[in-house]
Amino acid sequence: MGGLFSALNSSAGAMDAFQRVLDTIQSNVANASTPGYASQSIPLEALPMNSTGTLPGGVTTGEMQSARDEFAEQNVRQQFSALGTLEQTSQSLSNLQLAFNVSSDSGIPGALNQLFQNFSSWSVTPGDGAAQQAVIDSAQQVAQSFQQAAQTLAQDSSDTGQQIQQTVTQINSLASQLQADNQQVIQGGSNAGLDAQIHATLEQLSEYADITATTQPDGTVTVLLGGQTPLVIGTNQFNISVSFTTPANAPATVAGGAAPARLIDAQGNDVTAQVSQGQLAGELNIYNNVLPSLAGNAYQQGDLNLMAQSVADRINQILTSGNISAGPPPVPGVPLFTYTAGNPTSVARTLAVSSTITPDQLAAIDPGPPSVSNGTALHLAALANPQSAADEINGFSYAEFYGNVAAGIGTQAQDASNQLNVQQQTLAQARNLRSQISGVSLNDEAAQLVQFQSAYDANSKMVSVLDELTQATIDMLK
C-alpha cells in the first residue's frame, strides 16, 4: 500500500508543479504587451527517489526566477536617455532653423541687402528726397527683422524654461511613484505585476534624465540622477527643483542678461552638470547654451545682439562723421539707429530707427579733405562688400556673419536629426539584446560571446575597409 500512496503522492506533487509552471506561462502570455513586464520562469527540480519507497521521487518546482537582467535593463534605460536628449535637441533646433533662414530674400539678410542697395541708390542722387526716404524705410525693415528674430528667441527661451519646469515636475512625480512602489515591496507586496510597474516607471523616468537604478537586497529600488544625486532610496524621496538665478560662484558678466537654468537637489546643491542625458539634459543645453549663443544671457551678448550692435554702431558712426550740409557752418550728421544702452543682450530686441530723424538729415557729405558730396553714402553702400576690418564682424561681412550663424544652426539641427535616427535603432538594438540574454545559461553566453567576438572583428574590419574606400572615392572627386 505504501508504494501506492507514494506513487499517488508523487503524481499529485508533479501535477501541482506542472500547474504552477502552466500558471506562470499563462501569466507571461497575458502580460506579453504589459510595459515593463519580464517573463517569469519556474525551474522544475527532480526529487530524490529510491527503490525502497522511502524517497518517492517525482518533481517539484524551484524558486521563480525573473528573466530580467538589470544589466540589460540599465542598457535600455541609457539608450532611452540618449534618445530623450536627441529628440529634444532635434526638435528645438528645427524650430530655430525656421527662424534663422539663410535665404537672402527674407528676414535679416533680406532687409540688410535692401538697405545697402538703397544706400547705393542714394549715393547716386544724394539730395533726392525719395532716395533718402527709401533709406529710412529700409532701415526700419532692418530694425524690425532684428526685433522679430529677438522676439522668436525670447519666446523659445520662455517655452524651454517652462518645459524644464514641467520635466522636473514629471521627474519628481515618477520618483514619488517609485517611492510608493518601494513601500509596497517592503510591506511584502512584491510580485510580477509590481515588478513590471517599477520597471515601466524607470523606463519612463530614463527618457527624462539619465538615471541609475539598483535593486537592493530588500527588493526596493534605489534611483540616482546622473549616478550621484539620490531621487529615491527605499521609502525616501528626494525632490529636485529648478532655479533661474546666477550662482554665487559664477556671477553675471553681462549686465541685464538672463540667468541660466540650474538644477537643484534636495539639499540645495547645484547638480546641473550631473544631468548629461535625457530630455532634461537636452532642454538645459538649449536653454543654457544654444539660445544664449544667439540671444545672449548673463555670460555672453549673443551673436544676434553682437550683429545688431555692430550694424547700428557702424552705420551711425559713418553718418555722424559726415555732414548734412557743407555750410558754412557745416551741419554734422545724426545717427540713424537707436537701441537701449546698458543691456548688451537687448540690442536686437530694442533696435529702432531714430524717431527724430528726417530724410533730409541723412548726411551724404564726407568732409574730407577733400570733401566729397556723396562720400558717406558711398561708404555706407560699400558695407555690403567691406574692405576694412571696421566694416566687418570678426573678419566677416554682415551677410557672411549672419550666414555663418544660420549655417551653424542648420548643421547642428542636421547632426541632431541624423543622430536621432541612429539612436532610435540603438534603442531597438538594446531592447533586442535584452531579450537575447534572458533565460540563457552562462555556458551558452560564453560560447555565444566567442562567436560574437569573431563576427564583430570580421564586421569591424569590413566597415573600416568600406569607409576607407568611400573616403578615397570622395577624395577622387575633389
The residues that touch another protein, with contacts defined as CB under 8 A, are: 69, 71-72, 75, 418, 421-422, 425-426, 428-430, 432-433, 436-437, 442-443, 445-449, 451-453, 455-456, 458-460, 462-463, 465-467, 469-474, 476-478
Report the residue number, 236 or 471, with the smaller CB distance to another protein: 471
* CB of residue 73 to another protein, shortest distance in Å: 12
* CB of residue 457 to another protein, shortest distance in Å: 9
Report the residue number, 232 or 413, with the smaller CB distance to another protein: 413
* CB of residue 447 to another protein, shortest distance in Å: 6
Residue 415 CA: distances (Å) to CA of 81, 85, 98, 249, 410: 18, 13, 16, 34, 9
The 8 Å CB, 24+ separation contacts for 436-445 are 437/69, 437/71, 437/72, 438/38, 438/39, 438/67, 438/68, 438/69, 438/72, 439/39, 439/41, 439/67
Report the residue number, 130 or 440, with the smaller CB distance to another protein: 440
What single-letter amino acid sits at 9?
A: N
User: Grid cell 539619465 — which residue?
Assistant: 210
* CB of residue 62 to another protein, shortest distance in Å: 18
* CB of residue 414 to another protein, shortest distance in Å: 10
Report the residue number, 223 or 427, with the smaller CB distance to another protein: 427
Distance CA 346, CA 314 (A): 18
Q: Which three cell numbers stand for residue 344?
A: 548688451
Per DSSP (E only), the strands in 292-451 are 323-325, 331-332, 337-338, 352-353
* CB of residue 88 to another protein, shortest distance in Å: 20
3-state secondary structure 112-166: HHHHHHHHHHHHHCCCCHHHHHHHHHHHHHHHHHHHHHHHHHHHHHHHHHHHHHH
Asked if residue 178 lies in contact with residue 202, where contact means CB atoms within 8 angstroms, the answer is: yes
* CB of residue 281 to another protein, shortest distance in Å: 19
Q: Three-class SS of residue 312? A: helix
Report the residue number, 253 or 459, with the smaller CB distance to another protein: 459
Distance CA 297, CA 252 (A): 9
Q: What is the DSSP string of 208-270?
A: HS-EEEEE-TTS-EEEEETTTEEEEETTEE---EEE-S--TTS--SSTTPPPPPEEE-TTS-B
Q: What's the half-sphere exposure (Cβ side, CA atoms, 13 Å) at 369? A: 0
Report the residue number, 218 or 467, with the smaller CB distance to another protein: 467
Report the residue number, 51 or 443, with the smaller CB distance to another protein: 443
* CB of residue 92 to another protein, shortest distance in Å: 22
Helix, strand, coil percent content, the chain, rounded in steps of 5: 60, 10, 30
Please state whether the peptide bond connecting residue 369 to the residue before it is cis, i.e. omega within 30 degrees of 0: yes
* CB of residue 202 to another protein, shortest distance in Å: 18
What single-letter amino acid sits at 38?
A: A
Asked if residue 316 lies in contact with residue 336, where contact means CB atoms within 8 angstroms, the answer is: yes
* CB of residue 41 to another protein, shortest distance in Å: 18
Report the residue number, 65 or 460, with the smaller CB distance to another protein: 460
- What values do phi and psi take at 68, rounded to 5? -65, 140
* CB of residue 459 to another protein, shortest distance in Å: 5
Report the residue number, 7 or 437, with the smaller CB distance to another protein: 437
Asked if residue 430 lies in contact with residue 76, where contact means CB atoms within 8 angstroms, the answer is: yes
Report the residue number, 8 or 447, with the smaller CB distance to another protein: 447
Report the residue number, 15 or 458, with the smaller CB distance to another protein: 458
